[in-house]
Amino acid sequence: MSASERAIELLTAAAEAAHDKKAENVLAFDVSEQLAITDAFLVASASNDRQVRAIVDAIEEKLRVDFDAKPVRREGAREGRWVLLDYLEIVIHVQHDEERAFYSLERLWRDCPVIALPSPVPGSARPGAE
């Protein structure tokens, strides 16, 4: 079994929103074979707490507006170091660069297939977006 079509659509939209806020190292993994609770993970990082929160806000807005999707769980938003958004089909991790390097989720899930995401379009971020 692999990630559902809806999971891929949500991942793609979330990745686009993250790229619009200049997220770095945006990766997606199909974890459907290893976990029964979700199909896929999206992992992104940012260089500061404010940017982590901006990325999270952009992802939530994009998924709410385009897919009428709201996270069933949201953790870590106050601190802005590692925010987890659980949409059931997908789980999104937006991490500060230091947490990303320390916890290395991509190493933990390296046996899972990587899901291809659209590349960021140069200059696609809105002026002043951070």
Task: Express each pLDDT in 25-69 by its tens digit.
Answer: 999 999 999 999 999 999 999 999 999 999 999 999 999 999 999
Is pLDDT above 50 for 107?
yes
pLDDT tier for residue 128 given thresholds of 50, 70 and 90: very low
Q: Which helix (H) or strand (E) holds 8?
A: helix 5-20
Q: Helices 5-20 and 49-67: crossing angle, nearest 10°?
A: 140
Q: Retrieve residue 63's tokens.
A: 């998924």
User: Span 5-13, mean pLDDT?
Assistant: 97
Class of domain 5-108: alpha beta
pTM for the model: 0.90
CA 70, CA 125: separation in Å to the nearest integer? 23
The string of DSSP codes covering 25-78 is EEEEEE-TTT-SS-SEEEEEEESSHHHHHHHHHHHHHHHHHHH----SEEESTT
Q: How close are the terminal C-alpha atoms of the chain, in Å?
A: 37
Q: What does the radius of gyration of the chain's CA atoms come to, in whole angstroms?
A: 13
